[in-house]
Structure 1
Amino acid sequence: METLTIHSIELTERDFRKISNLVYDHCGINLHDGKKELVRARLAKRLRLGKFRTFSEYMQNVLEDKTGNELSILIDSLSTNLTSFFREPQHFEFIQNKFLQLLLDRKRKLHNYKIRVWSAGCSSGEEPYSIAIVLLDAIQGRGRWDVKVLATDISTSMLEIAKTGLYDAERVKPVPSLQKQKYLVPHRSNGQKVLEVSRQLRDAVIFSYLNLMNDWPIKGPLDFIFCRNVMIYFDKTTQASLINRFWDLLDSGGILFTGHSESLTGIEHKFKYIQPTIYMKP
């Protein structure tokens, strides 16, 4: 009997187009021709597990699955979920040193003690927990502030990891030692030593599934939005749509943070450029 291996499964041009069109229509990810080998390699593992002999057979299964579970697994397989605590530290330095004090002073004058933030594309949770650490540190001892970080992602598997709030020692290395003591609690999980986010940190972050191409059940105004290393997957038309939707949600003076490899160049928008990957709604 012939053994099915990852390398023996061919992805025809027709099947690649079918997959790329489905993914684009569902969540806006643009799988251009240069991604064909990546698609083949990542989905071939799924084919082998499901004992599908061709990509056409696999896609038929995805389309016939009324639960949507197979489509979610397909999207998960094609998404890159690279993240870490305090990744791209210049953003957190900007919040701490240039933005947050002005925001708190302005809100205090308005007797508005709510801080609302969105981490769009939160992956396994390190980003929103990092944001929450910065905010909770800033408001400590300064009265009763209400801090909430909405954290959304299209990957259900990443959201499940994020909700557990459990990270090994290597993952939390970027967290400064003082904040580590305050917000991360030693814990044992499956016999392994890990660190668990504190109750205070957990209460500040709300995780939810969200496809950015669909309606956003989010009420503004938001004080800042992190959408980092997400838009690189989208074409310019989709990027422009997202940027303008972010604008509508942000409060005046609110900030949009994008990823280090992302730029609003070539996109019509109303944001004011502050510095690379940092934009303000005037």
Structure 2
Amino acid sequence: MTAAAERSSSSPAGALVTGEFSFSAANFREIAEIAKSEAGIDLPQSKATLVYSRLAKRLRALGIDTFTEYCATVRANDDERDSMIAALTTNVTRFFREAHHFEHLRTAIIEPLAESARRGNRVRLWSAACSTGQEPYSMALTVLSVIPDAASLDIRILATDLNPHVVAHGKNGLYQKEELRDVPPNLRAKWFAPVPGDSRGSLKIADEARSLVSFRQLNLMGTWPFSGPFDAIFCRNVVIYFDRDTQSMIWNRLTRMLKENGALYIGHSERISGPASSMLSTDGITSYRRKNSKSP
């Protein structure tokens, strides 16, 4: 009998999920409590199978036999706690995802700010869940399509994510050809180049684009070590992981980071709630602008 079969056969009859590892309701509750306290992630018990499948890979990687042992490891090890949270979140992304947001960014934010930027004024953008970098680099390419010399001006894009592994990927700026299929051909030709000697056919985004973006690990539930204000913030498909109260809190914090008339872009399945609702006005599909202080 294999070790996996031994573990399966020894699983208690009351296991929450039947599988390779013992996974009880108590294990799920502990994982859910850690995910909520550390990252604001709301995990109802209906997600038990998903949690099991995502974390079983961590148990195999660590050579751990039960979720009880794994929970003890997570409690004792900050790095594994980060890895657990990263495993429970989905990093689905692509260049120019929701293209209408980037068109709005170009026409409503960057073009009106271009002359001001050339006079030396600052422009600040934030990708608040940057994943492996496609979103902030799409923002950078949008900026460069309007202001080709943006790298020499005071224009910066902050790119943050909870997962340190995807942040490191974004810093590298390397992507496979198929990942660039949604990049407009003129931008792809101008701002990406093959990596010499790379057998995988990787392409690297140009230094002019990379220099606009600063990547940092950041937990949206924690302290934000910057004050803004931002001309535009992308926070898409993030708050869907949170409960209603946490969603309202995050929307409020993000909105207060915006300049007056600054733009907030959210996911197509998300809705603004809480105090932010009175501070924002709709300005397109899942696009909002912060009202100025004289607005009713």
TM-score by length of structure 1 reads: 0.92
Q: 1:172 to 1:20 in 2, by over 3 A?
A: same
**2:45 matched residue in structure 1:** 33
| Residue 281 of structure 2 is aligned to residue 278 of structure 1 | no
**1:115 matched residue in structure 2:** 123
Aligned match of 1:60 in 68, 72, 77? 72
**2:95 matched residue in structure 1:** 85
Structure 1 residue 143 displacement after superposition: 11
Structure 1 residue 12 displacement after superposition: 1.0
Does the aligned pair in 2 maintain the 1:118–1:150 contact within 8 Å?
Answer: yes
Structure 1 residue 102 displacement after superposition: 2.6
**1:134 matched residue in structure 2:** 142
Structure 1 residue 108 displacement after superposition: 6.1
Does the aligned pair in 1 maintain the 2:151–2:209 contact within 8 Å?
Answer: no
2: distance between equivalents of 1:247 and 1:153? Answer: 18
| Residue 214 of structure 2 is aligned to residue 175 of structure 1 | no
Structure 1 residue 2 displacement after superposition: 4.2
Aligned match of 2:168 in 160, 163, 168? 160
2: distance between equivalents of 1:44 and 1:181? Answer: 42
SS, match of residue 206 in structure 1: strand
TM-score by length of structure 2 reads: 0.88
Does the aligned pair in 2 maintain the 1:136–1:147 contact within 8 Å?
Answer: no
Unaligned runs of 5+ in 2: 9-18, 292-296
- After the TM superposition, list the runs of 4 or more consecutive aligned residues in structure 1 that deviate by more than 4 angstroms: 141-144
CA RMSD of aligned residues (A): 2.0
Q: Which amino acid aligns with 1:247?
A: T
Unaligned runs of 5+ in 1: none
Structure 1 residue 175 displacement after superposition: 0.8
Deviates more, 1:139-148 or 1:255-264: 139-148
SS, match of residue 221 in structure 2: coil
| Residue 83 of structure 2 is aligned to residue 76 of structure 1 | no
Q: Aligned pairs, how many? A: 277
**2:114 matched residue in structure 1:** 104
Q: Which amino acid aligns with 2:81?
A: L
Q: CA-to-partner distance for each residue in 1:110-169, whole Å, 9 max, x for gaps?
A: x55211000001000000000000012211369963221000001011111111110000
| Residue 133 of structure 2 is aligned to residue 125 of structure 1 | yes
Does the aligned pair in 2 maintain the 1:85–1:171 contact within 8 Å?
Answer: yes
**1:3 matched residue in structure 2:** 3
Does the aligned pair in 1 maintain the 2:263–2:288 contact within 8 Å?
Answer: yes
